[in-house]
Structures are given as structure tokens and as C-alpha cells.
Amino acid sequence: MKIFLFLITFFSFLSAQQLTGVVLEKTDEGTFHAIVGANVYWLNTANGTTTDTSGVFHLPVNTQSNRLVVSYIGYVSDTVTISDQSKINIILKPEAHGVAEVEIVGERQSTFVNYLAPQKTLVMSEKELFKAACCNLSESFETNPSIDVSFTDAITGTKQIEMLGLSGTYTQITLENLPAIRGLTSSVGLTYIPGTWVENIQVSKGVGSVANGYESITGQINVELRKPQKTDEKQFFFNFFGNQEQRMEANLNVRTPLSDEWSSMTLLHASTQQQIIDGNGDNFLDMPLYKTINAIQRFHFTNHTGWEGQLGVQFVNDDKQGGTTHGYNLDNASLALHPAEYSFAMNGNQLRVWGKTGYVFPQKQYQSIGLQWSLTRNRQNSFFTTHDYNANEEAGYLNLIYQSILDNTMHKFRTGLSLLYDKYDETFMHLRYQRTEQVPGAFFEYTYTPGDEFSMIAGIRADNHNLFGTFFTPRLHLRYTPQEDWVLRAVAGRGQRTSNIFAENMAYFASSRNVVVLPSNTNSVYGLDPEVASNVGFNVTHYFTWDYREATIAVDFYRTVFDKQVVADLDANAHQVRFYNLKGESYSNSVQVELNIQPIEKLDTRIAYRFYDVRQTINGTLRERPFVAQHRAFINFGYATDRDDENSSQMLYDLTLQWFGTKRLPDTQTNPAGLQSRSSSPNFVLANTQITRSFFAGLDLYFGIENLLNFRQTNPIIDAAHPNGSYFDSALLWGPIYGRTAYIGLRWRM
């Protein structure tokens, strides 16, 4: 706390010669909204500025005048005499006669970064998500060079993401800033969020805000769903998707205004695949057969005088079956009679309820208080011929946040209390693991914004874990703009999480490997310590024009260093996966260069190159982490034809090419010849393309091809002919397992 008091005193001294204020408008309902871009200047001088996206302005004190003029088109200009130069609130009134209607036509990029934000957060809009089929969240990052998406194994069809060269479990994934994909849903939860439900996705590298918890290490992905209160949201939205393998999906979004204060949104999803596909002829289904039902009902309330709230309920039921083409539906007794057959089955069931309640003080728009909460129940039953895993989870989350200013809007803060509750009951191979985690916490976050050139967010939180004791999480975000077209950002902080070794590593159950846990702390979860890591990062963005068109080039560097980590060791023994606490070094270095440009008009081009150096002490030796491509190159082209008005049609073309360098694979040299995997994967290229015809009346038809070049990993399963043998392994996957796939779909808004 002494550090924060020092920072506040220091920066207050620096800003003593500046006037800070906020320009607002008062609506007919009595609420206040910030006015962005209002002109503010000292009377009879040339010294002035404009308000930022929060309606805030910073202006050097002028000794020649103490009268401030504030103006904005459509509002009555106001002249204010300044006596107290610490802070000021100005409320403009609309002109009584009104102004002529002006239509401004512009185009926002499909992905963009808030220029003024201290933390670099990439916002993927609906326009970006619709560049691909985007059936669920795991398929939403095909056009994002910062996130890798891959299958975990050749049987379950589960996809995982990676950021900064580390597993997606180190990335905090939230749903409207509430914990969403964690615990039992770490490996399957990405499929629980259909893409057509998503309004936008916010991706940030490095540690996140302390207000969102302590689990973010390599980044945060926050998903914003479609809002019932947004009047620009279409009231009816239907999406249908189907591919050549007879995978079918349907989504329906219905927004219903209930009254002036209440509105609702119904989100429905159903998907299935029942066609047996064995493209590589190994007698195993390339993708499991499945049926999924997913529904959300949400409500929003506002009384237009400061109170606002929302309530949501989600239910998911997901059934999967996989294995050999004739054994995928067999039980234990039948499989015993057919040793060449293999069966996999999984049933996931989730019920989630969440809500938010907040109050914004009408006379002080910078001051508010809010409560976020969620309750989740997960049931997951999994059957593999060689392994069984059944688990139940009950989770609760509370987060109380209060935010205001210190003296003026240059110094903002938010503070609060949180409670995280997790109760697990897992049974793996007839061994039962039970635990309850209770983590009350408190946080404080200070934001300093003296102007558009510099900003800072410094936060710290303290949490008391009933199993691991008390720990502290400091985090810092800095932004500096030496020139208008250069933005420098830095981030540093720590994170901690509990490893759920079974739920997060189910891919290895689809093999003959024995699971071995080597505990070193009998009082911890599974006898293993929590994972603790530090992350530091720096990025620089340069804005420029190319033939009068806006362009950016950005360079990122991030380093993650683990103090404690749970190692999943596949190298020590080809017949085992060993879990134990890290003994030695473990780190990840990530460098990325990205260029966004229009080389010719309307051709949006995104080019990126990324380098990873990810190493971990495995079986006593510091070596490359397996399944990580050290080099990756990426290019995305997007072209859209002109659209005269909303009733005219438009064509959209999209092409994404990705080159992956070699990946180190786990050691299988002790296996007999012919039953060994290669030591590293080859280089390979993936290509996806989509064409969309946008008609009038909100109707879109789209056609696409995934894996256009038809590249796939040959023989993804070791010893597929003997699934009950000691060498069977389907988890050494480094590339796609299915070839070229065409799909078609439609979107209809009303």
C-alpha cells in the first residue's frame, strides 16, 4: 500500500499544473453519458484539446485566462470560470432547435486495438469471426496469428489452443469477464461457446487485470456474447452450417424487448455428426460421432437512473462416441471378445447460472459499484478402452468491485473482494480424488492517465487458499506514446493456478500409457504444488499510411518463467505419462512481428511471423517442450466488393495460409522398429478459404474449404491394428488428421 501512496503522491505532483475534467450530457432519462471529441480551450487563446473516449480532457493551466470554453456540434457551447483547478465536470445541453441529420460512413477494421488503452487488447469483431465457419470458440482463431489451435489426439476430436507457446490452460478464458473455461471444462469447454453467439472476442497477451483474478499467466481471452439490450442487434438471427462429412449445425438467436426496462435474449444451438469417416484407412474414426444441445437464456434490466443488472442461464449436453469403425459403440464385455476393436465415449453436462448487478452514481459517472457472480455444475463421464475417468465439479464465484477517482479523473482506482469456490469429485481407474478449494481474495488497482502520451495500470491482489495458503499477485501495465504514430506498451506480473491433471490431459487416456503421479507434497492437490509463473512483455506498434490507407506494424516480445509447474512427462517412458513437480528451469520466450496493410484498395492483408523458444526440465534435462512449432508464418487476405446501400449485395473473399516449422515429438525410441514416432514433425502448410455472398434483407450465403492443400499426418496412431497392445498411442499428434473438407452455410438476420 505504501508503494501505491507513493505513486499517487508522485504523479499528483507531476500533474499539478494541469486541469483535468470530464464533459457529459444528461439524457431525458436522467443518466449521464460522456461526450467524445468535444472541443475544450482557454478563452481568447490558442491553447486547447479534445475529450477522449471517456469524455475526459487534460489541459495545461493558462495564466492568461481562467475562462474555459467547451463546445460540441449539436450542443450549446458553455464558458466556465475556473476557480478550483483540481477537477471539473461540465454538462452540455443539446441545442433546442436541433441540427440537420448528418450521416457519416466509415469502415472499422475486423480486428482492432484501443489506441489509448495501457494494455494491448486485440478485439476480434463479428466481421473477423465470419471470415471462417467459426462453429465454436475453438475454431474462432484461424485468422489470428497469436493463437495456435490443434487437435489433442486422433480419437476424441478435442481441440486445444496455445498462447506464447504454452497450453491454453495458462490463458484465462472468461465469458463477459466471468470465469468460464476452467476446471473440468479445460479441454472441452471451447466447444461450449458457439461462434454465432459471440459479439466479439478480446485477446490480450501477458497477465491480465487483478480484478479478474489470479489465474492469468500467458494471456486472457474474454468472450462477449450478444446483448439483449443492444437496439442495433437484430431481433432474429439464424445460422446453418453443413460440411461434406455430414457435420450439421444450427444456431438461433432471438432478442426480445420485454419493456422499457427489461429485455431478453435466447441463444440456441444444436449440432451433430453421425457419418463414419476413416480417410486414412487405419480402421479408426477420424472424428467421433456426436450430438450437442446448447442453450442460453439471458435477461437485462436498467431503470435508466443508474441501476443495471443481468441474469443468464446456460445448459449444455454433449455426447461423443469414437474408436474403431466397428467398435466405437461396444462396451467392456464386447470389447473383451474383439481385441482388435477400440471404443471411446464421453458425456459432458453443464448447468451454469450467472448474474451482474451494478450502480453508476448519476452525478459522478466515474463512480460505480458492481457485483458479479456465477454458479456452475459440471458432470463428465469418459470411457476409453484402456482408461476410465468420471468427474463432478461444483464451482462458485463472487466479485464485488468499487471504482472511483482520487482527486480527479487523472487518478482512477478500483478495488474489491472476491471468492472462488471449487469442489471436485474425480474417479480415475477406480481411484477416487476429492478436494474443495476456497479462495477469498482482495484487490486494488490504480490507473494513472495524465494525458494521451502516457498511462499506467498498477494492481495487486492477495488471496488466501485453503490448501496453499496466502499468496500475492502484483501486475503492472504501461503505455507510452513518444510520437502520435508510435505506441509502446509493457506488462509484468505473476499468476498462479491449480493443475487439474486428469481433465487437462485426457488426450493421453486415448493410448496404452499408464498414468503415474509422483507426489512430493501430500497436503496438496494430487500431491502436487500449484503452478506459479512470472510474465513480462513489451510491444511496440507503429501507425503509418500506405497510399493514403491506414496500416500498422507491431513487434511483441514476451517471456514466461515458472517458479513452480506440473510437468506431464512423455519422454521418460514411452509407456507412461508421468506427472510431477518441476525440478529445474521452465520458460517460454515469444517474439512476433505483424503487419496489417492494404497494398491495394479493399485488399486487407495481415502478415505475421512468430518465433518460440519454449523449454522445460523433463526427466532431469532442460529440453524443448514437445508439440511446439518454433517457427510459424501467417498471411491472411480479405477482399470485399463495394456495397451501394443496405439493399444491395456484396461479395467477400478470404484466404488464410499458415506455415508451421518442425515440432519436437516425445521420445519413443524404446519401442520396436516400425512402432516408433519420428523425433520431429516435418514443415507443413495449411490453407483455408471462404467466399461469402451477402444479399439484401440480412441474408448471407457462404462456401468454404478447410485444409485446401489436403495435407494431413499419415499414420497418426501408433500400432492402430492392436489397440489393446502395449504400444498403442493416438496422442502424438502434430498435424491435421483429416484432409480437404468443403462446407456451406447461411446466415439470416431479421
| Cα 90 from Cα 55, distance rounded (Å) | 10
For position 671, what pLDDT does the model report? 93
Domain(s) labelled CATH 2.40.170.20 in the chain stretch across: 222-749
- The band of 362, judged by pLDDT with boundaries at 50, 70 and 90, is confident
Residue 218 C-alpha cell reads as: 500467458
What are the cell numbers at 607?
502478415
CATH 2.60.40.1120 domain residues, the chain: 2-92
Question: How far is 434 from 525, CA to CA, in rounded Å?
Answer: 9
Greatest Cα-to-Cα distance within the chain, rounded to the nearest angstrom:
96
Superfamily of domain 112-221: TonB-dependent receptor, plug domain (2.170.130.10)
CATH number, span 2-92 = 2.60.40.1120
Q: Residue 658: what pLDDT?
A: 96
Question: What does pTM read for this prediction?
Answer: 0.86
**At residue 516, does pLDDT exceed 90?**
yes
Checking if the pLDDT of 272 tops 50, the result is yes
Fold of 222-749: Maltoporin; Chain A (2.40.170)
Q: In this model, does residue 129 exceed pLDDT 60?
A: yes
Question: Each residue of 74-127: pLDDT tens digit?
Answer: 787 788 877 655 567 788 877 654 444 433 344 557 788 888 888 899 999 888
CA-based nearest residue to 528, from 517, 540, 538: 517
Quick one: which of 382, 415, 416, 379 has its CA closest to 395? 379
Higher pLDDT, 192 or 362: 192
CA distance 703 to 689: 9
Q: Centre a 10 Å sphere on the Cβ of residue 392 and count the other Cβ atoms it contains.
A: 17
User: Would you say residue 363 has pLDDT above 50?
Assistant: yes
- How does the average pLDDT of the chain come out, rounded? 89
The confidence score (pLDDT) of residue 5 equals 44
Which residue is it, cell 476452467?
182
Band (pLDDT 50/70/90 cuts) for residue 13 is very low
pLDDT at site 295: 98
Q: What is the pLDDT of residues 277-336, one digit of tens each?
A: 998 889 999 999 999 999 999 999 998 888 999 999 999 999 999 999 998 888 887 887
Numbered ranges of CATH 2.170.130.10 in the chain: 112-221
3-state secondary structure 289-344: EEEEEEEEEEEEEECCCCEEEEEEEEEEEEEEEEEECCCCCCCHHHHHHCCCCCEE
197 phi and psi angles, rounded to 5 deg: -85, -15
